[in-house]
Structure 1
Amino acid sequence: MTKIMIVEDDRKIADYLGSFIDKYGYQSVIATDFEEIMTTFRETAPDLLLLDINLPSYDGYYWCRQIRKESICPVIFISARTGEMDQVMALDNGGDDFITKPFHPDIVMAKIRSQLRRAYGEYAAKLEERVLTQHGLTLYPERYELHFKIGIAQLTKKETDIIESLLERYPRVAGRQDLLEKIWDDQTYVDENTLNVNITRVRKKFKELGVEGAVETVRGAGYRLRITWKEEEV
């Protein structure tokens, strides 16, 4: 079932939207912890997000930027702000549409259906999913998943970026600077320690799949994928 995540700190409005969305055959998920929007987003994996601008701690623009680091799912801003600049900022920060309060639920549903068609339906671009495979290891970058034998490890975006680089360069070394640039983004400063922390996490994900010593440190250069198993063992 198509899931719609609602991030709105006015619970009456959130419940009203949720009931209307459920009535039309979608599944609504209402965020309640406004410090952990990304955690809820990852756990829910919604097909579309309704996002208010005025939220506790961080505003909707901030959360939209965080979501855009990991997902291209449609984001519709809903706000009492009516200024043109607010709508411009919503689009510039990664939003796909903007609805002003007070709103008519039929308008909200029409915009939801429109964005779902564009993203997944008849108007969606037909793009093949990227898959990287090496000696039985299979990475699905757009799913943030690493497969080995019958096991599946769920990854973060940075973990996915690192493993993608290791697979693309195998059996060559992926340089530290190349990896730093790979996991760099406009909002986050990434230093050497951040790379070390993420490499440790990547090693743990390989270990979850039963792959020991998969990431080899090449002193003074970077890291290399170390494959010690044979194809017939996979």
Structure 2
Amino acid sequence: MKKIYLIEDDPKIAGLLKEYLEKYEYLVTIVNEFDKIMQEFKSIEPHLVLMDINLPRYDGFYWCRQIRSISNCPIIFISARDSGMDQVMAIENGGDDYITKPFNFDVVQAKIKGIMRRIYGEYAVSKQADFLEINGFYLHLTAMEAEFEGKSISLTKNEFILLKAFTDRLNQVLSRTYLLEMLWDDEQFVDDNTLSVNITRLRKKLKDIGIHNSIQTVRGAGYKIIDTWSGA
């Protein structure tokens, strides 16, 4: 049974979400103490986190960063804040998706199911190989990390999915539509800008380990990755 950690300060919403999701055989734990979220996270070891933004003391962006410092567990934000900037901040702080209140319970369940399936189920990365290597660049599949010349970076779930898609198809153009389908079940649930944010963040992380200009924009078509690191 997959475990969900629900970080929501509205008891009514939290109770309704818990009741609804448990019908789909998820084990849902509602946050108990808002100043001990990290302790509760480590104790629960959830497969997924549902996180509100407006929380007592520290907001959801803060707690998302704290979780990201120790885990790649997928995080979905649920919030009444519906501005595009809030959604961008959610992605930039390590979130994997964003749902605006008031929400449709079926949409929440569909998003959770899609992420669970990709990370833990039929679409999960094969565990037959632990890493992918291209001319000295390593993508560690189970650790969700990338490495080059002794430097490594941790990847969020979405960054990892994108980088894996690019490296599987070196020098091939991948359309924005294809990449959106890799990240989410249904494009209508996603702002296209979130793909751009993830691409920008991935480029920066690759630059941090010495890989420059590898992810290229192909105007009107999509993106591709080329080998700029081997000097060949």
Indicate the TM-score class for this superposition, using the shorter chain for normalisation: 0.5 to 0.7
Structure 1, residues 58-98: CA drift from partner, whole Å, max 9, x if none? Answer: 10001011111111111000000000000000011000000
Change in 2 beyond 3 A, CA 1:106/1:65: same
Q: Distance in 2 between matches of 1:64 and 1:118?
A: 20
Q: Distance in 1 between matches of 2:86 and 2:50?
A: 16
Is 2:92 aligned against 1:68? no
List gaps (5 residues or longer) in structure 1. 131-140, 143-180, 183-234
Contact 1:7 1:52 in 2 (8 A): yes
Is 2:18 aligned against 1:8? no
Contact 1:78 1:98 in 2 (8 A): yes
Q: Distance in 2 between matches of 1:6 and 1:36?
A: 13
The aligned counterpart of 1:167 is none
Contact 1:76 1:95 in 2 (8 A): yes
Q: Distance in 2 between matches of 1:74 and 1:123?
A: 15
Is 2:82 aligned against 1:104? no
Is 2:25 aligned against 1:18? no
> How many angstroms does 1:44 deviate by?
0.3
> How many angstroms does 1:126 deviate by?
2.1
> How many angstroms does 1:129 deviate by?
6.3
The within-5 A match list for 1:167-178 is none
Q: Distance in 2 between matches of 1:43 and 1:64?
A: 16
The within-5 A match list for 1:47-58 is 47-58=47-58
Q: Distance in 1 between matches of 2:114 and 2:102?
A: 20
The within-5 A match list for 1:119-138 is 119-127=119-127
Q: Distance in 2 between matches of 1:78 and 1:4?
A: 14
Q: Distance in 1 between matches of 2:59 and 2:95?
A: 13
Q: Distance in 2 between matches of 1:94 and 1:126?
A: 24
Q: Quick one: percent identity of the two aligned structures?
A: 54
The aligned counterpart of 2:204 is none
The aligned counterpart of 1:36 is 36
3-state SS of 1:35 partner: helix
Change in 2 beyond 3 A, CA 1:64/1:21: same
Q: Distance in 2 between matches of 1:116 and 1:69?
A: 21
Aligned residues: 134
Question: Which has the greater radius of gyration?
Answer: 1
Contact 1:8 1:14 in 2 (8 A): yes
Runs of 4+ in 1 over 6 A off after TM superposition: none
Contact 1:73 1:119 in 2 (8 A): no
Q: Which has the higher contact order (CA 8 A, sep 6+)?
A: 2
Structure 1, residues 76-128: CA drift from partner, whole Å, max 9, x if none? Answer: 00000000000000011000000000001101000000111111112222245
> How many angstroms does 1:32 deviate by?
1.7
Pairwise CA RMSD: 2.0
